Structure 1
Amino acid sequence: MKIENLEVFCLVVEEGSINKAAKKRYLSQPAVSKQIHLLEENYETLLFERNNGKLILTESGKALYPIAKKIVNDYHQSLVIVSQIKNKVKLALNIGASLTIGEYLLPKLLGEFKKNFPQIEITLKIGSTPTILAQLEKDQIHIALVEGEVKGENFKVTKFAQDEPMVVFAAKHKWKNNRNVPLRDVLTEKLIWREENSGIRVLVEEILKQHNLLDQLHVYMEFGSTQAIKGAVEENLGISILSKLAIEKELKEGSLKALPIEGIDFKRNLWVVQKKDYIIQKSVKVFRDFLFQKTYST
């Protein structure tokens, strides 16, 4: 049995078909089928069965997959680590970040990090928290920075900072001289909101639900872009609730104002997520140490 047999097996499981796995691996379907057959001969059991044209894992296949995945991952990590020790490849760092962190927190941090560690080649992928965690699960990134809820027994989760969603409004809005905003006043305004399932919307709606106030929220417009929301609020088309990280520039320039909601704590934690039982590459350790030096964790 070879590593390639396990790699192909894992790919077939993840793609759901021999045809898709063959295309992704640039192999013929018979070649992929042969790899699976070799594994089945080695373990003396079927790993897949067909049900209404669909490829379904057998109980043996289900048991083998997580073990095979770990063996494949460990093998590829060993190649990277040994190559780094031999100085034959540059250090690589693949980061995944949810939208607010990736767009507003990381650019400045990564600029400073790159100045201190120019030998590390950085790739940043930005997406929703579920998308980024799925990429981490599939080893498409080394480390994830997210603000949403993290589920999964395979993840090691550590707080690295905190963010506070705030009520955001135009500089000429009637609240411009307030120190905070009563929730009842927020509920009477036209709210310019992120799309459903965005991290900040889920957080705010969950808190309002706890106070039995969610049905009183008046959503005036929905945008899929924080930048678009800020532009609309600047024009005084309505108010919004946005991450404090996302509006720092506008607050300094004076084009937007922001206040906390009276009596409600919207603070949320920002998380570093890594896979458990994963050999930490030097570049990841260096970045993690740098991140915690520049932010905070309690």
Structure 2
Amino acid sequence: MDQSLLVFMTVAEKHNFTRAAEVLHMTQPAVSQHIQALESSIGTKLLDRSNKYVRLNKAGEIVYQHGKEIGGLYKRMHRLVDDLMHTASGSLSIGASYTFGEYVLPHTIAYLQKHYPLIKPTITIGNTKEISTLVAEGRLDIGIVEGELEHEYEKLHAESFAKDQMYVVAASSHPFGAIDDIDAASLQQETWIVREEGSGTREVTERMFLEQGIQPSNRMEFGSTQIIKESVEAGLGISLLSHWAVRKEIALGTISKLTVGGRPVERDFSLLTGLHQQQTKATELFIDILRMRKGLPEQA
């Protein structure tokens, strides 16, 4: 990666020339020279500077975003060359949306490490929209998400590899805690705890509301499945969550699950890769593991 571009990226992320110089083990004048060289090459200023701050201007934002993509391509180039000379090894950047990433992915990573210890995975957890964006930009090797894709879909290859079953969940002390199935009309007046916009779980919840013809007026929106589980246990409301997210609480008897109209709500787990991205051996192996194991641990 071009040294001046690397210096610019570091300054942009640290918002400070001195801190960037410390990270890069350079002098501050050397950092300034690299920035000037890049701005001269681009033909415009990239940073707004004052005594208090360093900020990207509009041109700088464009260069920064493309620099992220260039950095990802540079790292991938090195890994592909290394793959030609050695067995699968090196870094593997995996992104996953919350349900899969927090409750299923650890089991898959454990299997990967047992059989391919030279592969060093890094994990990014975000909602479906965030993960799909990172994969489309080349900043992740692979993404695993729930629900349907819209954002940046034209830059992605998506493959459904497993099914997820979702249930209405309530505290065991809730009136719903003693039943296994419920009709949709009974859900209308309940307080619903839902995930944020952009979440695959939120998407499926809204789809269920539409299909069942209900429009709950009492809603609380939380940005984490773990907080939702704790809130359901505390009796704040009910939610729609994956079986994988609540299987331990169900086993402990603190949360009960219900079907609506006799069946759970189903959705796909999908793996995402860049549409024209050449895959490393580590990525190929991980995808094979997902397909073989369906990405899922043994049922509890």
CA distance in 2, matches of 1:269, 1:38: 49
Distance 1:261 1:75, change over 3 A: same
5+ residue gaps, structure 1, are: none
Equivalent residue number for residue 201 of structure 1: 202
Structure 1 residues 278 and 16, CA, compared in 2 at 3 Å: closer, same or farther? farther
1:154 correspondence with 2:159: no
8 Å contact from structure 1 (residues 3, 72) kept in 2? no
Tell me the equivalent position of 1:217.
Answer: 217
The more displaced of 151-160 and 32-41 is 32-41
Alpha-carbon distance, 1:168 to partner: 1.1
Deviations along 1:145-188, one digit per CA (max 9) or x if unpaired, are 12254511433322222323311124465445655321110112
How far 1:290 moved relative to its partner? Answer: 0.7
TM-score of the superposition, structure 1-length normalised?
0.72
**Counterpart residue number, 1:294:** 293
**Structure 2 residue 170 is the aligned partner of structure 1 residue 169:** yes
Report the counterpart of residue 101 of structure 2 in structure 1: 102
Change in Cα spacing, 1:56 to 1:229, as seen in structure 2 (3 Å) is closer
Q: Is the 8 A contact 1:94 1:143 kept in 2?
A: yes
RMSD between aligned residues: 4.2
Distance in 1 of aligned mates of 2:146 and 2:92: 20
Q: In the TM superposition, what whole-angstrom CA distance separates every residue of 1:99-125 from its partner, at most 9, and x where no partner exists?
A: 111111112222223222233223323
Counterpart in the other structure of 2:269: 270
Distance in structure 2 (CA, Å) of the matches to 1:224 and 1:55: 29
1:215-254 to 2 correspondences below 5 Å = 216-219=216-219, 224-234=223-233, 238-254=237-253
Q: How far apart, CA to CA, are the structure 1 residues paired with 2:14 and 2:226?
A: 38
Task: Indicate the larger mover: 17-26 or 237-246.
Answer: 17-26
Structure 2 distance, partners of 1:27, 1:90, is 31
CA contact (8 A) 1:155 1:274 kept: yes
Supply the distance in 1 between the matched residues of 2:290 and 2:144 (Cα, whole angstroms): 10
CA displacement, residues 14-58 of structure 1 (integer Å, 9 cap, x when unaligned):
659784866764555653453355456667x44748799965455
Contiguous gaps of at least 5 residues in structure 2: 296-300
SS in 1 for 2:277: coil
Alignment of 1:133-152 (within 5 A): 133=132, 135-136=134-135, 140-147=139-146, 149-152=149-152
TM-score (norm 2): 0.72
- Percent identity of paired positions between Structure 1 and Structure 2: 30
Contact residue 88 and residue 118 of structure 2 kept, 8 A: no
Letter in 1 for 2:81: V
